[in-house]
Each structure stands twice: as C-alpha cells, then as structure tokens.
C-alpha cells in the first residue's frame, strides 16, 4: 500500500484503543506538529479513577495541547482531547461534548463504540476513526456506524498490535479503508498538519 494515499480527517480524528495501545500512542504523538488543523480525541480503556496521569504522559510526547474532555466543551482544532475515566463521551449536534455514566459497553466505560458512533452521526464524512491494539471487540460497532456515515476507517495491522484481538475483530466485521502497521501510523501522524 502506498502511504501517501491515506487521507486525513477533515475535522475530527478519533483514536480508540485498549490493552497495548498506549505504546503505539507514545510512538505516534511525537510525530504531530503544531498546528494540527483538526481535533483529535483519544478513547482508551483505563481504570475508573480520576487522575491526570494519562493526560500528563501524552502531553510530554507532543507539542499539541492535550486536555481531558469536559462536559459542554466545544470541539476545537489543534487540541488532543482525552476521554476521562469512567465516562462515555458523546458528541452533540452542536459539536460539543457530553459525558455520560450509563452502563458499560463491551465491559468498558469509556466505550470506543459509543464515541465512534456518536461522532459518526455528527461529522459524517469529515470523520476518521483509528482502532488500535486491544483485548475485546469494543470499537467494531462504532466503526460500522462511521463507515455507514461516510467516515474513513483505519485499523492497526494485527501483526504490529501488542494484543491483536481488537484489530482482528474489526477487520473481520468491516472492510477497513486502511490497515496500517506502526511505521505507517507514524508516517500518517507526521503528515497530519501538511
């Protein structure tokens, strides 16, 4: 696959991951350069404690501002939003965040499916979803919703995922637009602001 053909999200890029995804994030985020002409949301399964360790860790790896998403925050370009622990993140029609504490989806809150699906309805073909390493099938239904609404689907290549189950489930369930290994993901992030 020719790397240069991978398109960029027009408005919103959402990255979902679980076990094994942090290593990939720590590799790709240093490739970003300010300004990034889109918003980025990161949904990772994490313990339900209210701490800023993940935000601080990711902030140390990029010059792009990183913050936890807050209720009613307007989505702005050139910011990386982290979904807070123990909340689902929904996107409202006015492109603001809504935090939700309804039941877990795929044993997870935050759920990747919830955020992908919600964003797909609002952003349509201006959305790109990336699914990384993980040990369950969270994200698959959300990718289907994004695809139905014209979004672009990128899945980490299972051979390069620390835990390939999540990417494998996605590839089995939906035709991803792109399946990228770690080096290709780094290249994608390096060109996000081009």
Token pair belonging to 153: 């689907």
12 in Cβ contact with 126 (< 8 Å): yes
Confidence at residue 1, expressed as pLDDT on a 0 to 100 scale: 37
For position 50, what pLDDT does the model report? 54
Cα distance between residue 181 and residue 71, in whole Å: 34
Q: pLDDT tens, 181-191?
A: 999 999 999 98
Burial group, residue 89, by CB count within 10 angstroms (0-12, 13-18, 19+) = buried
Which pLDDT value is given to residue 165?
A: 97
- What pLDDT does residue 53 have? 85
- 88 catalytic, yes or no? no
CATH number for 60: 3.40.50.180
CA distances from 67 to 11, 56, 57, 190 (A): 18, 9, 11, 21
What is residue 96's three-state secondary structure? strand
Is 45 among the residues known to form the active site?
A: yes
Distances in Å between the Cα of 31 and the Cα atoms of 47, 123, 167, 183 are: 27, 25, 22, 11
Instruction: Indicate the number of domains in the chain.
Output: 1
One of 45, 117, 157, 160 is an active-site residue; which one?
45
- The single residue of 18, 111, 117, 133 carrying the catalytic annotation is 18
Task: Say what the pLDDT of residue 6 is.
Answer: 66
Domain that holds residue 172: 3-190
Residues with pLDDT less than 50, the chain: 1-4
Q: Which residue has the tokens 């689907």?
A: 153
**Catalytic (active site) residue 157:** no
Contact 163, 134 (CB under 8 A): yes
Q: Which position among 88, 138, 157, 160 bears the catalytic label?
A: 138
pLDDT of the residue at 46: 77
């Amino acid at each position: 696959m020719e790397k240069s053909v991978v398109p960029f999200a027009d408005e919103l890029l959402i990255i979902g991951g679980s076990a094994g995804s942090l290593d990939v994030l720590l590799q790709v985020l240093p490739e970003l350069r300010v300004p990034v002409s889109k918003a980025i949301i990161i949904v990772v399964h994490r313990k339900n404690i209210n701490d800023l360790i993940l935000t601080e860790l990711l902030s140390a790896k990029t010059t792009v501002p990183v913050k936890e998403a807050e209720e009613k925050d307007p989505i702005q370009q050139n910011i990386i939003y982290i979904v807070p622990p123990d909340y689902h993140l929904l996107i409202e029609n006015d492109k603001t965040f809504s935090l939700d504490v309804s039941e877990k989806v795929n044993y997870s809150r935050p759920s990747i499916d919830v955020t992908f699906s919600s964003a797909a309805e609002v952003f349509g073909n201006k959305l790109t979803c990336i699914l990384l390493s993980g040990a369950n099938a969270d994200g698959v239904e959300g990718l289907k919703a994004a695809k139905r609404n014209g979004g672009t689907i990128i899945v980490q290549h299972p051979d390069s995922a620390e835990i390939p189950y999540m990417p494998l489930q996605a590839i089995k369930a939906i035709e991803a637009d792109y399946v990228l290994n770690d080096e290709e993901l780094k290249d994608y992030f390096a060109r996000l602001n081009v």
